[in-house]
Amino acid sequence: MKKRYLVLEDGQVFEGRAFGADAERVGELVFTTGMCGYIETLTDPSYYGQIVLQTFPSIGNYGIIPADFEGSCQVRGYVVRDLCNEPSNFRSEGTVDEFLKERGVPGISGVDTREITRIIREHGVMNAILCDTIPESLDAVKAFRITDGVAHVSTPEEETYPAVGKERFRVALLDYGEKRNILRELCKRGCTVERYPYDTPAERILAGSYDGVMLSNGPGDPAENAGPIAELRKLFGKLPMFGICLGHQLMALSQGGETVKLKYGHRGANQPVRDLAGGRTYITSQNHGYAVVSESLKNGVVRYIQANDKTCEGVDYPEARAFSVQFHPEACAGPADTAFLFDRFCALMGGEKHAEG
């Protein structure tokens, strides 16, 4: 098979086998620890600008299933230990190799993903290039930055998704790079969802007679989204609001909080999160490289923390009928422990007395 190289910005070279598109790509190299869910990973818009490494060794064994897509493929490259090109699944409609070829994304297999993961954990997230010829200079690799990610992945126009069964609520979803299962979770609870572009003015939402506002996940540095943050500041407190991942970070920034880039982030389906209100620990699915600084919060109470490094995983704003979480309660191919948070959002929209609990 054709050789391909993964070259880190510090000059370390890993030789492997090429699959996917015949292309050269630079990106931010990150790893995810999920043992399943590679389809959701490859179609999660939050991975915009990143080369994704799977720590689980065997990838592709159940093929590609379009019905499980979370969005469009935004990864810059894909790194695996062993690639399966003969999937066994009655729902499969193709292979990972075919999927990446169709979308112009290069992949590499046969590299020591354990060693590369250790490097990232010790050094921190770094840039890398997938290439067939090792470049003489790595200046372009070192200079790479993810910018305007939300603008690239957000919907360009308003779209409506009807409630499943009888309509109970109308929800405005601000799309910063939403995962499809957020829509599914809302719709199956009787919500008709209007999806809006990331830069929709607050006045447009407030004029829509909505029962609540949903803030989606998305890619990149949350602090660069000055426009959306300003609009959220106008919306805050006017309607019940629920933020997930980037939406969680933007809500905090709109209320004077701060965010920080983590050394290597949290990506995987086995991340423990502790509920400070009750002491219970949930296993969650996560995909983020930034975190809200708990000490910076001026208008909100930290509700959830990451059990390993104690970073902020959720904030309650009881006076504003708003709350947010860093993890993914809508996770497909991941733990469903926290799906009740959508019920909590519906309770807030319904004006239930104990919805803040």
Tens of pLDDT, residues 58-114: 999 999 999 999 999 999 999 999 999 999 999 999 999 999 999 999 999 999 999
Contacts for 325 with CB less than 8 Å, ≥ 6 apart: 243, 244, 245, 248, 304, 313, 314, 338, 341
Nearest to 95 by CA among 83, 77, 78: 83
345, two tokens: 């959002």
The secondary structure of 85-97, three-state, reads: CCCCCCCCCCCHH
Q: Which one is the CATH code of 150-349: 1.10.3210.10, 3.40.50.620, 3.40.50.880, 3.50.50.60?
A: 3.40.50.880
- Find residue 78's DSSP bridge partners: 52, 107
- Distance, in Å, from the CA atom of 347 to the CA atom of 30, rounded to the nearest integer, reads 37
Instruction: HSE, CB side, 13 Å, CA atoms: give it for residue 220.
Output: 22
- Distance, in Å, from the CA atom of 190 to the CA atom of 174, rounded to the nearest integer, reads 18
* Strand locations in the chain (E): 3-8, 13-20, 25-32, 50-54, 58-59, 77-79, 82-83, 106-109, 126-131, 159-161, 169-174, 191-196, 212-215, 241-244, 259-275, 281-292, 301-306, 312-317, 322-325
Measured torsion, CA atoms of residues 36, 38, 43, 45, in degrees rounded to the nearest 10: 80
Question: What pLDDT sits at residue 352?
Answer: 77
Nearest to 197 by CA among 154, 165, 136: 154
Nearest to 81 by CA among 112, 52, 36: 112
Q: Which one is the CATH code of 3-145: 3.50.30.20, 3.40.50.740, 3.40.50.1820, 3.30.200.20?
A: 3.50.30.20
- Distance, in Å, from the CA atom of 237 to the CA atom of 271, rounded to the nearest integer, reads 30
- The answer to whether 184 and 315 have CB atoms below 8 angstroms apart is no
User: Of these residues, 28, 178, 313, 330, which one is catalytic?
Assistant: 330
Digits of tens for pLDDT over the chain (357 positions)?
A: 899 999 999 999 999 999 999 999 999 999 999 999 999 999 999 999 999 999 999 999 999 999 999 999 999 999 999 999 999 999 999 999 999 999 999 999 999 999 999 999 999 999 999 999 999 999 999 999 999 999 999 999 999 999 999 999 999 999 999 999 999 999 999 999 999 999 999 999 999 999 999 999 999 999 999 999 999 999 999 999 999 999 999 999 999 999 999 999 999 999 999 999 988 999 999 999 999 999 999 899 999 999 999 999 999 999 999 999 999 999 888 888 999 999 999 999 998 755 555
Burial of 149 (0-12, 13-18, 19+ CB in 10 A): buried
User: Of these residues, 231, 313, 328, 332, which one is catalytic?
Assistant: 328
- 328 included as an active-site residue: yes
314, two tokens: 């959720």
- The answer to whether 106 and 20 have CB atoms below 8 angstroms apart is yes
- 245 included as an active-site residue: yes
The residue behind tokens 């994304």 is 105
Taking the CB of residue 133, how many other CB atoms lie within 10 A of it? 9
- The answer to whether 242 and 193 have CB atoms below 8 angstroms apart is no
Query: In the chain, where does the domain assigned CATH 3.50.30.20 lie?
Result: 3-145
Helix (H, G, I), strand (E, B) or coil at 126: strand
Taking the CB of residue 260, how many other CB atoms lie within 10 A of it? 12
Query: In the chain, where does the domain assigned CATH 3.40.50.880 lie?
Result: 150-349
Helix (H, G, I), strand (E, B) or coil at 78: strand
- 36 included as an active-site residue: no
User: Of these residues, 187, 245, 332, 346, which one is catalytic?
Assistant: 245
